Amino acid sequence: MMIIRSILLFGLVGSVFSEGVLPNYMLGKFKLYKSADNYDDFMEALGVGWLNRQLALSLTPTHEIRQDGDTISMTISTLLYSGTVKFKLDEKYEETNPLGGTIPALATLVDGNKLKRNRYNDDGSLKFYEERTYTDGGNKYKLKIEIPGKVTSYRYFKRIED
């Protein structure tokens, strides 16, 4: 009986986790299907101007998450912008935002079903973070974007075919 349990457990783990560092269900293409309150407030708190906020609110982004070994790439695409960031979990990296600025960042895997990316101020303090919590067998995720103590926004994505 113990051998059967071990075989089943090994098969389950093998089907959930890929060759890299993220579970398979976190990889693929996802499209925004619902943007909840406060995204405009979040962008305003970051200093994004009114016109750029209105433009961003009118777009429906697609997020594509891939990995090659321990390197993760995340591509964000809209009709007006496409950009890719590459990183490794638990290693600091510089990220370029859609307006051309750079910001120190760190990505971590939390509780096995959350991909969290922190962005930092120049002094090393936390500026904001985003956290993807996967549900529905990895077919959906809730993107929580928060400036701690100021504003929290949620955006919802669902898996789409390549």
Bridge pairing between strands 114-120 and 82-87: unpaired
Q: How far apart are CA 117 and CA 13, in angstroms?
A: 25
* pLDDT of 20: 66
Q: How far apart are CA 55 and CA 43, in angstroms?
A: 11
Q: How far apart are CA 119 and CA 105, in angstroms?
A: 4
Of all residues in the chain, the percent with pLDDT exceeding 70 is 88
What φ, ψ does residue 12 adopt, rounded to 5°?
-65, -45
Residue spans per domain, the chain: 19-160
In this prediction the pTM is 0.85
Which band of pLDDT confidence, cut at 50, 70 and 90, is reported for residue 162? confident
The average pLDDT across 50-71 equals: 95
Domain at 19-160: CATH architecture: Beta Barrel (2.40)
* pLDDT of 65: 98
Element (H, E) at 16: helix 2-16
- Token digits for 108? 């971590």
